[in-house]
Amino acid sequence: MNWDDLKFFLAVCHAGSIRAAAEKLAVNHSTVSRRINSFEQALGQRLFERTSNGYVKTKLADEIFAEASHLEERLSSVERKVLGKNEELSGDIRITLPDLLATGLLIPGFAMFCQKYPSIELELIDSIKELNLANREADVAFRIVKNPPEYLIGRKLAVLHRACYISKHLAPKLLEEGWLEKQNWLGWTDKLRRPIGVIAKEYPRFSSKHKIANNQLQVEACKQGLGVAILPCFRADSDPDLIRIPPYISEGKYDLWILSHQDMRKNNKVQTFVRFMTEFILSQKGLIEGESFIKPE
C-alpha cells in the first residue's frame, strides 16, 4: 500500500464519485477509476459499491478511511508548517468565495493586488462549501457566516446589507399612486417566496411571483422588470440600471469574514494578500453596509 493509492482513495471518499474526485485531483476520471480498481485488486476486496448515486464505501473502506484520514491530516500539517514559513511573494494563492461576493465587490480588489504583486497567481474557487483549509483545498476563504470554525483565524470585515430594488426604467411608475403596492417579489424557492424580518415589516406586502434561486439571475430579472428583488447593497446600489424603492431602508443580514488557517499566519504571501484585501474591503464598507446610498429628495 502506498500514499498515491490512499490519495486517490481518499479523494473518492470525500467527493462521492469518480468524476468529482478527478476534478478535485485535476486528473482524468479514467485515471481515478483505474487507480481505485488497482487498489481493490491489490487488497483483494471491494472498497466501493458502484451505485446510480455514486460510490458508496464498504465496511472495509470505512475502516481504511478512518485510519488514512489521520495520516492525511498529519501530512497536511507538515505541508502547512513548511508553507507557513514561506516568505516569498510569488507562486499561487487558492481562494474560495461565493460568486455573490466576486461580482461587483472582490474581483476589482483582486485585480489591484495582482497589479501590485505580479509574481503571485490567484486560483479562484467559486464555492459556498466549507472547503478544508486544513488540507489546503484553499489558502484563504471569504465567507458569509456568523461563527467561523475555531481552527481558522480571520476577521469580520463588514455586515452585508440588503435592500429592495426595481428596474430603473420603472422609476416614473413610483409617482403613480398605488402602483408600487401592486408589484410582486421575485421569489427564490418554494420555501423562500417572501422576506422575513425588517424588510417584511417595512415594505408593502407584495405578492410573490417566479422562483429564481441565483443572485445574478435575480439581478437580471429585476433589471428586465420582472419584479421587486431583495439584493445586496454593494451589488445593486452601484448598478445604474437598478433603483431602491421606498422606504429605501436596508437591513444588515450577514457577516462577511476573511479567513485562513492558523498555520498560515507566518506565510508572507498569504498574509500580504489578507492584509491587502482587508484594507480594500474596509474601503468599500459604506457600499457594503448600504450607507453610500443617497435617498431621493
Does the pTM exceed 0.95? Answer: no
pLDDT at 86 over 80: no
- The better pLDDT of the pair 296, 160 is held by 160
Confidence (pLDDT) at 84: 46
Number of CB atoms found within 10 A of residue 205's CB: 9
Please compute the mean of the pLDDT values over residues 168-196 and round it to a whole number: 91
How much is the pLDDT for 92? 92
Q: Residue 155 is which amino acid? A: R
**Terminal C-alpha separation, the chain:** 73
Q: Is 170's pLDDT higher than 60?
A: yes
Compute the distance between CA of residue 192 and CA of residue 186 in angstroms, rounded to an integer. 10
Q: For the packed helices 107-116 and 268-283, what is the interaxial angle rounded to 10 degrees? A: 130
| Residue linked to cell 433603483 | 243
Percent of the chain with pLDDT over 70: 89
More confident: 199 or 5: 199
Q: Which domains does the chain have, with CATH numbers?
A: 3-84 (1.10.10.10), 91-155+258-284 (3.40.190.10), 160-253 (3.40.190.10)
Paired with 55 in beta bridges are: 50
Q: So what's the pLDDT on residue 73? A: 66
More confident residue, 21 or 289: 289
Among the ranges given (7-16, 93-102, 124-133, 146-155), the one the predictor scored with the smallest mean pLDDT: 124-133
Answer whether 84's CB lies under 8 Å from 266's CB: yes
* Pick from 72-76, 136-140, 233-237: least confident: 72-76
What are the residues whose beta carbons fall under 8 Å from the beta carbon of 97, sequence distance 6 or more?
A: 106, 124, 125, 126, 127, 141, 142, 143
Q: What is the pLDDT of residue 168?
A: 97
More confident residue, 274 or 261: 274
If you average pLDDT over residues 73-81, what whole number do you get?
56
- pLDDT interval class at 63 (50, 70, 90): confident
- pLDDT, residue 80, reads 47
